[in-house]
Structure 1
């Protein structure tokens, strides 16, 4: 199976456009599940401190037989650790659990606006990036107003904003802001936890292309220029989610999928989650 295409971020770092998410995978499961994903051909792993599986992810990377530079590792700072000094300490702890000397992408997990600490957090991330311990710095779940505050007070433009994105929640306003400022869009919950897979538009395209509904939706992410990080613990589905490089969607398909946007959130709203 060919490797997924890569996107070049605004600082020149390359990230695979299709990665592997590990939310809800235990630390105990992670070495086996992530190891399976790496053997299948994934070269990007997305974890977070709040997932509680950084040690297992690090073990899988170490035991994979792959060179460190072959695996793109991303993790995230949890809300309670926002702030300048607390971010530095939390990053050190994540790195220790992962068993790495740097991460390829480090994200502020949520803006947590009521805490009002994400600007101080970003200053700490700027420092870590300058020290070479973070190859690319980004955010997650930031709305345009949150992003604008960072742009107004920092020279470091986030390389990535990881947001909930799928055909039921297409985030056109946020994606337009990203395009204007050179921020890559990364999709968490790219399959809406399965909520969009039975839609007649998706199933019809799947029937015509001989692909599964999940493969159609993941292909849509690639074609709109997003990075997708599907999660699965099932070996067959891990492989299936990667097998999306041998077909394309038509303009009619893309138009039909664009019509499925209905503000369907599977997670909390970034303005109110703290």
Structure 2
């Protein structure tokens, strides 16, 4: 193994435990992005998800929000998990030259992202350059060759500018292939959690077997039927939490899973964080242990049947 790969591998040691269970999602926040990022960090979020894709994200305003929160003492950079994405075919407003090679597009996209998150540390200097905790390939490209060209370009930033890599909107076959060919293996998979993909049962199994953190999005929007399912309602009632927090907790309870949360209500931000933490205490208590075991077992059975 090369020294570059050794360094990259060592940088990911113990990585997954640093990915928060709830990550604040910044898509579609538009001009409210800065305000909402500050609210999320004030509420207690430690993870921020964004992308260098101006059509759906204002990554520059995410950076402004994080800078404001750090300046105001709401968070320190080293406490935060910040991930961005390189988005193939991002459109006319992409932060890269659409006519450039894929590798050049990745380089330009990452440069844009690093600029968005500049000056987050207390002092400037050669050792205080901006970095991101994860760079996610927003979607596979049409061919394996193109996908691996993008991945290889992403690898060139690890571990100094980018700590770890991930892939989003992927199926199992693509994930396995990227994992087999990559020098720096995926640390994150971010997918829709919904019936059309059978709730990614096989993808999540692969992730569990290969130290990859699965990140669920569309968790509430795509699953109104789960919000009214028996295990979710039972957990909400017994733990005295909302059905939304009960669903988040059961998805997290599937193992090695984080959930993206994009609420625009600061009270809801706090409540979701507090109630998910409350479930951790509930399921470890004498009164809650049996309830949690039954609800989690029933939940897994429910998503298998629904999927």
TM interval, short-chain normalised: 0.7 to 0.9
Which residues in structure 2 correspond to 1:68-83 (within 5 Å)? 68-80=77-89, 83=102
**Aligned counterpart, 1:58:** 63
**Aligned counterpart, 1:251:** 293
Query: 2-side partners of 1:222 and 1:10: how far apart?
Result: 21
SS at structure 2 position matched to 1:85: helix
Q: Per residue, is there more helix in 1 or in 2?
A: 2
User: Alpha carbons of 1:189 and 1:183: their partners in 2 closer, same or farther (altered >3 Å)?
Assistant: same
**Aligned counterpart, 1:94:** 113
Query: 2-side partners of 1:72 and 1:10: how far apart?
Result: 13
The match for 2:302 among 254, 260, 263 is: 260
The match for 2:157 among 119, 128, 136 is: 128
For residue 44 of structure 1, report the CA deviation from its aligned partner: 0.7
For residue 16 of structure 1, report the CA deviation from its aligned partner: 1.7
Deviations 1:165-222 (A, max 9, x none): 2689531100111122221111122224562323344223312321111110111123
Structure 2 length-normalised TM: 0.76
Query: 2-side partners of 1:47 and 1:22: how far apart?
Result: 6
Structure showing greater relative contact order (alpha-carbon pairs closer than 8 Å, 6 or more residues apart): 1
Larger radius of gyration: 2
Provide the aligned length of Structure 1 versus Structure 2.
255
Query: 2-side partners of 1:264 and 1:31: how far apart?
Result: 38
> 1:162 touches 1:187 (CA, 8 Å); kept in 2?
yes
Query: 2-side partners of 1:263 and 1:80: how far apart?
Result: 35
SS at structure 2 position matched to 1:229: strand
Task: Indicate the larger mover: 12-21 or 102-111.
Answer: 12-21
Query: 1-side partners of 2:102 and 2:51: how far apart?
Result: 17
Deviations 1:212-262 (A, max 9, x none): 111101111232221112110012211121111122361110122113226
**Aligned counterpart, 2:252:** 222
**Aligned counterpart, 2:270:** 239
SS at structure 1 position matched to 2:89: helix
User: Alpha carbons of 1:11 and 1:146: their partners in 2 closer, same or farther (altered >3 Å)?
Assistant: farther
User: Alpha carbons of 1:137 and 1:115: their partners in 2 closer, same or farther (altered >3 Å)?
Assistant: closer
Query: 1-side partners of 2:84 and 2:157: how far apart?
Result: 14
List gaps (5 residues or longer) in structure 1. 1-8, 266-274
Task: Indicate the larger mover: 94-103 or 236-245.
Answer: 94-103
> 1:18 touches 1:44 (CA, 8 Å); kept in 2?
yes
> 1:104 touches 1:136 (CA, 8 Å); kept in 2?
yes
